[in-house]
Structure 1
Amino acid sequence: MPFRDRADAGRQLATRLTAYAGRQDVTLLALPRGGVPVGFEIAKILRVPLDVLIARRLVAPINHQMTIGAVASGGVRVVDEELCRALAVSDRTVQWIADAEAREVERLERVYYGCHRAPPDVRDRTVLLVDDGVATGASLRAAVTAVEQGRPAAIVIAIPVASYAACAELSRRAREFVYCYIRDPVYSVGLWYESYAPVSEQEVCRLLREAHELSASPPEPPAPGAP
């Protein structure tokens, strides 16, 4: 497998993002839950702030492996209308599924942002948008739309493994699409990891707290004799 776990994927991906290291205009947004351990490693290595952008897939009512769209923070809703017609999924059913997932987005915002934090302000910033892999790209499309609403200076998508189709589509909406591996088809992102254990909400909150503490601490002084 290319990656031992998500942390390893983040470290590998960080080597391809060194142009953004230490920049004051960069914010890294990871898609919870699986994208957060990847993003945490990247943020730690590049010394940039880490936050989350919440996106949820909309799955077909009969085949839960089939993604028909996604919703994301900011009221974003993306629906594959052609696929819905092919699967005979009615507009009313799509609305019901999307409303349910939008409520889950709101719940997760309360969990991850809490009562003392606001969603990140990305206006005029370069946003590194990170997940642990992309097969169909539905969640990431919704995430990109949500980021675009905040009027960033640029969007850079960073993914350990992606399908050719998702890369081709999403590259048109980003300054860069950075990846470690690109294949078609990807089938399941988990197949690319030796360990692909579920990430809990508690783990996401812990990593966000740790990332905030790291970004708030002063940089270590150079070693004696260093230039």
Structure 2
Amino acid sequence: MGHLFADRSEAGALLAERLHGMRDPIVLALPRGGVPVAVPIVRRLGGTLDVLVTRKIGYPPTPELGVGAVCEGGEPVFDTKLMDRLGLTERDLSEVVARELRELDRRVSAYRGERRLPPLTGREVVVVDDGLATGVTARAALRAVAAAKPGRLTLAVPVAAQETVRSLRAETDEVVVLATPAGFRAVGQWYGSFGQLSDGDVLSLLEQR
């Protein structure tokens, strides 16, 4: 299977073409991978770019497996079907949640300092990530933004698993996705370059906007 995108920046430029009708949106990128996707979108559309910090809640024996997520300003969201299959309760994950909340607070401080998110009420808000596998992190982000009562809420990603897109449509006004390929295993498989980003990379990209 070939790559769909050379890198996150190219994916963001292509995604911007699908979002071109928006006016003065607030674009909230999920760091770290969503930030380089969001930068070309804001360059094309204008509006305001900021980060919306989320953290995956991992299954303790295999932390890479996300069983939930937490977003700044929101409550933890869990994949209840997966937790049932694994025999997990929310109490079993209390230490993991506490650890991820500490890291979330650290990243919010690193990326925004004392600055707060812009007011979202009544605004057109676009949540951007580099792709959706299980979608639990995006779900936590969408619910946190929805609580602020935006005028319109859109989730925009270059690539996603088909079932995940279907499951998230109820959380937002629109899901804009460029590709939902079969054989979806991980987001990175659809990018030629999918390197890990540092906090410094995120800050540099935010300054470039």
Which TM-score band (shorter chain)?
over 0.9
What is the match of residue 34 of structure 1?
33
Instruction: Supply the distance in 1 between the matched residues of 2:145 and 2:15 (Cα, whole angstroms).
Output: 21
**Where do 5+ consecutive residues of structure 2 fail to align?**
none
> CA-to-partner distance for each residue in 1:104-130, whole Å, 9 max, x for gaps?
111111011113x11222111010110
Q: Distance in 2 between matches of 1:162 and 1:6?
A: 14
Amino acid at match of 2:87: A
1:121-136 equivalences under 5 Å are 121-136=119-134
User: What are the within-5 Å matches in structure 2 for residues 91-102 of structure 1?
Assistant: 91-102=90-101
Question: What SS does the corresponding residue of 2:194 show, helix, strand or coil?
Answer: coil
85-94 vs 41-50, which moves further: 85-94
The number of residues matched between the two structures is: 207
Q: TM-score, normalised by structure 1?
A: 0.87
8 Å contact 2:139–2:171 — kept in the other structure?
no
Q: Would the alpha carbon gap of residues 85 and 176 (structure 1) be closer, same or farther in structure 2, given more than 3 Å must change? A: closer
Is contact 1:135-1:185 (8 Å) kept? no
Q: Distance in 2 between matches of 1:138 and 1:57?
A: 8
**Is residue 74–residue 143 contact of structure 2 (8 Å, CA) maintained in 1?**
no
1:77 paired to 2:79: no
In the TM superposition, what is the alpha-carbon distance from 1:45 to its structure 2 partner? 1.2
Return the offset for 1:185: 4.4
Q: Which residue pairs with 1:182 in the alignment?
A: 180
SS of structure 1 residue aligned to 2:62 = coil
Aligned to 2:53: 54
The aligned amino acid for 1:10 is: G
- Once the two structures are TM-superposed, the CA of residue 145 in structure 1 deviates from its matched residue by 0.8
Q: Which residue of 2 aligns with 1:138?
A: 136
Q: Which amino acid aligns with 1:8?
A: E
Instruction: Quote how far apart the aligned CAs of 1:49 are.
Output: 1.2
CA displacement 1:3-23 (0-9 Å, x = unmatched): 000000001111111111xx2
Query: Paired residue for 2:117, among 116, 119, 130?
Result: 119
Q: Decide which structure has the larger Cα Rg and report it.
A: 1
Cα distance in 1 for partners of 2:208, 2:131 equals 23
Which SS does the other structure have where 1:59 is aligned? Answer: strand
Choose from 169, 172, 187 the match for 1:171: 169
Matching residue's letter, 2:150: P
Mapped pair 1:64 → 2:66? no
Deviation at 1:160, TM superposition (A): 0.2
Letter matched to residue 39 of structure 1 = A
Instruction: Find the residue that maps to 1:205 and give its secondary structure.
Output: helix
| Separation in 2, partners of 1:170, 1:90 | 23
Which whole-Å deviations, capped at 9, do the CAs of 1:22-42 have from their partners, x for residues lacking one?
x23x10000000000000111
Matched with 1:225 is: none
SS in 1 for 2:125: strand
Seen in structure 2, the aligned counterparts of structure 1 residues 119 and 187 have a Cα distance that, compared at 3 Å, is same
Deviation of residue 90 (structure 1)? 4.1
Give the aligned residue type for 1:209: E
Instruction: Output the CA distance in 1 between the equivalents of 2:17 and 2:129.
Output: 16
The 3-state SS of whatever aligns with 2:21 is helix
Are the counterparts in 1 of residues 74 and 140 from structure 2 also a CA contact under 8 Å?
A: no
Structure 1 segments unaligned to the other structure (5+ residues): 212-227
| 8 Å Cα contact 2:154/2:175 also seen in 1 | yes
Measured in 1, the distance between the counterparts of 2:133 and 2:207 equals: 29
Aligned-residue CA RMSD (Å): 1.3
The one-letter code of the counterpart of 1:37 is P
TM-score by length of 2: 0.94
One of 5, 9, 12 as aligned partner of 1:10: 12
